[in-house]
Amino acid sequence: MALRFFNTYSRTIEEFQPLDPAGRAVKMYTCGPTVYSHAHIGNFRAYIFEDLLQRHLEARGYTVERVMNLTDVDDKTIRGSRAANLALGEFTAPFKEAFFEDVETLQIERADAFPAATEERFVAAMIAMIEKLIARELAYQAEDKSVYYRINRFPKYGHLAHFDLAELRSTGRVKSDEYDKEHVGDFALWKAWDEEDGDVWWESPWGRGRPGWHIECSAMATALLGEQIDIHCGGVDNIFPHHEAEIAQSEGCSGKTFVLYWMHCAHLLVDGQKMSKSLGNFHTLRDVLEKGYSGREVRYALIRVHYRAPLNFTWEGMDEARQALGRIDEWLRRLGESAAAATEAPEIEDDKFSEALDDDLNISAALGHLFEQIRESNRELDRGIEPARARAWLNWWERINRVLAFAAVEEETPAEIQQLAEERTQARLAKNWQKSDELRDAIQAQGWAVRDTKEGQVVTRRAGA
């Protein structure tokens, strides 16, 4: 079955066909974080969805070139840097660093490029684009010195969000600068400097100022991937106005279709509600890790629901993730043990996992199949499996895990734990059950677990420890 994705632009599921005539290279642009604070788990739901998409495309033989931008200049970063009494770059640098650490923790593949909005070459690219839009009368400088996009001159404006311009109504989030605009819906391409901006400004043909948010993505996507890209992702809240604006800007300059497939993931809810600091349900990745959960557990919890369905984050869900991963770990441990003596490995012909993902990333069906296979192979293990067969199952898993990235990080059992385990073995040989149980408790207290099997003790890292 061919790859099929839901395209927000057409609101239908479409067969995936990249621009590349050879049908192999895929250009992907993903909206990244605004680095004014630590990214929260809702942000990471989107990045993990994008990661799943990239990894599955790669599993299907595509070569993905992905760009993720970092917004390091906007109202929030400027406000934050002023509050912290730091230069803008000094203020955003630690958040950029933290973001990359979090990406690593969650096993999200690094994009090929992480352009930042303040890089001179991109500011120059943004200015060049705005000049072009003005030349084409798609933009104008208003009384307030800012430059705005003239949405009435771009007939497709509103198509992505399915908004009728006449229906747009103010929600009170607009600044009072709308008096200067020709249409309330006109959005800023270049924002004229004002006192609130402090020393954050660039010279431009329209005077000192800074780029609008939307132009950043159009310019960086074009600079790094070209005028046309295959897939552009983000959260549903980016559909309007951000992605709508990107289309207007990019196509206003190039005259070509900017993006073939628009893909958006639904929101993450926490305890059934939108995350907000006032409700106390706002979590960064760091908050969740502090509660004792691992990055892979968070990854599992955030990836397991289809990207277009709202995902409700709960601690119960985190525990469910822990259990499910523990089962996978134990399955792999048993397979590894049985496969040790294998000299060859026949292939297990089973592509159902990937076939499920072909269907608009149906992760639930894919995981359902994985667990069915785990049960099947566990039965084989119980019956006594051939080493080659165990090796074949491991190879099958490795293919799948290149997409899921669920495997635990290998960790050496520390010497003191090994020592305790050895003492316990002796106690057990002496049938000293009391001492055996005490040693088990001691091992568990140090974050490890010990189980007795027919082949003797098995020591593993305890989940959450």
Nearest distance, CB of residue 24 and RNA, angstroms: 27
- Work out the angle at residue 165's Cα, subtended by the Cα atoms of residues 162 and 166, and round it to the nearest 5 degrees: 125
Preceding peptide of 241 cis, ω within 30°:
yes
Nearest distance, CB of residue 447 and RNA, angstroms: 15
Q: Which of residues 360-389 bind RNA (CB under 7 A)?
A: 362, 364-365, 367-368, 371-372, 374-375, 378-379, 381-382
Residue 225: CB atoms within 10 Å: 19
Exactly one of 140, 163, 201, 202 binds RNA (CB under 7 A); that residue is 163
> Is 187 an interacting residue with respect to RNA (CB under 7 A)?
yes
Choices 105-113, 182-190, 254-262, 285-293 (CB under 7 A): range interacting with RNA: 182-190
Nearest distance, CB of residue 196 and RNA, angstroms: 12
Q: What are the percentages of helix, strand and coil residues in the chain, rounded to 5?
A: 50, 15, 35
Nearer to RNA, 63 or 315 (CB): 315
> Is 324 an interacting residue with respect to RNA (CB under 7 A)?
yes
Nearer to RNA, 24 or 274 (CB): 274
In angstroms, the CA 292 to CA 76 distance is 30
> Is 349 an interacting residue with respect to RNA (CB under 7 A)?
no
> Is 38 an interacting residue with respect to RNA (CB under 7 A)?
no
Choices 107-115, 181-189, 246-254, 344-352 (CB under 7 A): range interacting with RNA: 181-189
Exactly one of 281, 312, 401, 418 binds RNA (CB under 7 A); that residue is 312
In angstroms, the CA 185 to CA 256 distance is 23
Q: Which of residues 4-23 bind RNA (CB under 7 A)?
A: 11
- Six-digit token string for 323: 């259990």
Exactly one of 131, 330, 337, 355 binds RNA (CB under 7 A); that residue is 330
Nearer to RNA, 75 or 131 (CB): 75
Q: Which of residues 78-137 bind RNA (CB under 7 A)?
A: none
- Six-digit token string for 18: 């990249």
Q: Which of residues 263-302 bind RNA (CB under 7 A)?
A: 264-269, 272-275
Nearer to RNA, 343 or 453 (CB): 453
Nearest distance, CB of residue 70 and RNA, angstroms: 11
Tell me, rounded to whole angstroms, the distance of Cα 239 from its chain centroid: 17
Residue 249: φ, ψ to 5°:
-70, -50
Helix (H) or strand (E) holding 231: strand 229-235
Q: Which of residues 224-243 bind RNA (CB under 7 A)?
A: 234-242
> Is 173 an interacting residue with respect to RNA (CB under 7 A)?
yes
First and final C-alpha spacing in the chain: 42
Nearer to RNA, 405 or 463 (CB): 463
Put residue 59 in one of left, alpha, beta given phi > 0 → left and psi -120 to 50 → alpha. Answer: alpha
- Pick from 235, 257, 236: nearest CA to 246: 257
Choices 53-61, 124-132, 313-321, 384-392 (CB under 7 A): range interacting with RNA: 313-321
Exactly one of 120, 143, 167, 349 binds RNA (CB under 7 A); that residue is 167
Nearer to RNA, 63 or 413 (CB): 413
* Burial class of residue 47 (count of CB atoms within 10 Å of its CB; 0-12, 13-18, 19+): buried
From residue 104, give the alpha-carbon distance in Å to each of 75, 403, 447: 28, 15, 23
Nearer to RNA, 224 or 268 (CB): 268
List all residues 6 or more positions away from 347 whose beta carbon is below 8 Å from its beta carbon.
Answer: 392, 395, 396
